[in-house]
Structure 1
Amino acid sequence: MTETEARERVRWQRVTEILGVFLLSVVAVLTAWCGFQASKWGGEMSIAFSQASSARIQAAGADGAARSARAFDLTIYAAYVEAVGNGNAQLADYIRERFTPEFAVAYEAWVEDGQVESGPFARAEYVPDGTVEAEELNARADERFAQALENNQRGDNYSLLTVLFALVLFLTAMSQRQLAPWIGRVLLGLALVVAVLGVVILMTFPIRI
């Protein structure tokens, strides 16, 4: 090996070492960042799951209230029908005055339309207390559950990216070992390509602070 070749080899070795140290430092920071983001999105997933569960429990309570209201209206209406059937107009009027507002609206609409449906309970106007709230809470539960799944996927994406950056660290470390110069350069070049690819992918991910 000539003196020029020796100097060239030393120069390339220094460049490789400097580039390797720089790459190791940057990728180490990026790996830590990905781990932090994976943890944050995991926390967001847990919060969203908890909110979905809470909304589902509240929806069940509201739905139970709606069923109770429907049962009450059904009982009152049965008594009203019996009074009408017995020709007791005074009792029928007394019972009718005690219709709940939700049922009264449906009953009046049913009578005005000629009692086409099988009963006022079949009318769209009949919305027992708690029905709307139950629907809204169920919708919120579905939304938060979907958000939890999305947050879980985001955390998984950051975890996978951590593995990719770990590969960069491995390739860079291997390039610094006593290998043939061309092998070291190939390994370092491959590490650079993977690192750039990882950074590009990282830039497309959402950030949670």
Structure 2
Amino acid sequence: MIFMRRIVPALTVSALALLALAACQKPAEPAQPAAAAQTDTGKAPAAAPADAAPNPLEPPARVLRNDAIGYDGFNGGTEAGAVTARFGADAAAVRGAWGGEMKDNNGQRPDAKCYLLYPVRGAITHQYGFLMGADGLSGIDVYDPKALAPGGGRIGMSIDEINKAYPGKVKQIPNPSFEGAAFLQVSPPDGKDTQLVFETDALGSVTNWRIGKRGAIEPDESCTR
């Protein structure tokens, strides 16, 4: 019994040593490529997500030139510098120049001397407002950050950037409705009877701009409500 107790541990240690040596000497299997590992599942690879199908009930987006609005009016065409609805044009001419669906708020204030024509896409109000006065198209409000005002101004610019774009031509007027906000009036080129105005928030960033005939709409007249 004493002899057996000494032999069994010795054999066990030797067997373990041989197994460890065999494991160290076994050549490593080549790594499988990542692509093969992903496709070796019997399943087809997942397809890339497809673009959302257009809504057949929603009209297509209206593509405009970013310089479509100038001192003479609106350019609804593709030719640079063209004017398809000049200031003074009637509602039918403005609608034709836009070329898409437009609504108006003419019935909201029957006593008003002006009203707003605004393009829509489905249930979405577009980022332009065409101000119609007694003498036709009087001004255009712009809330589209891609649109460039004549001279290069746009939404998002600071007051300093507007002053650099129109050196010596900007008159800053406090906005009485919002503390810290301002109107930046730009002197028009010689021979133009239209006014370009940028509106800023209290931080001095342009939020929207308007170009229109000077004096065509009284300051206290609102066409948008």
TM-score range (shorter-chain normalised) is under 0.3
Structure ranking higher in strand proportion: 2
TM-score of the aligned structures, taking structure 1 as reference length: 0.21
> Which of the pair has the greater relative contact order for Cα pairs under 8 Å at 6+ separation?
1
TM-score of the aligned structures, taking structure 2 as reference length: 0.20
Structure ranking higher in helix proportion: 1
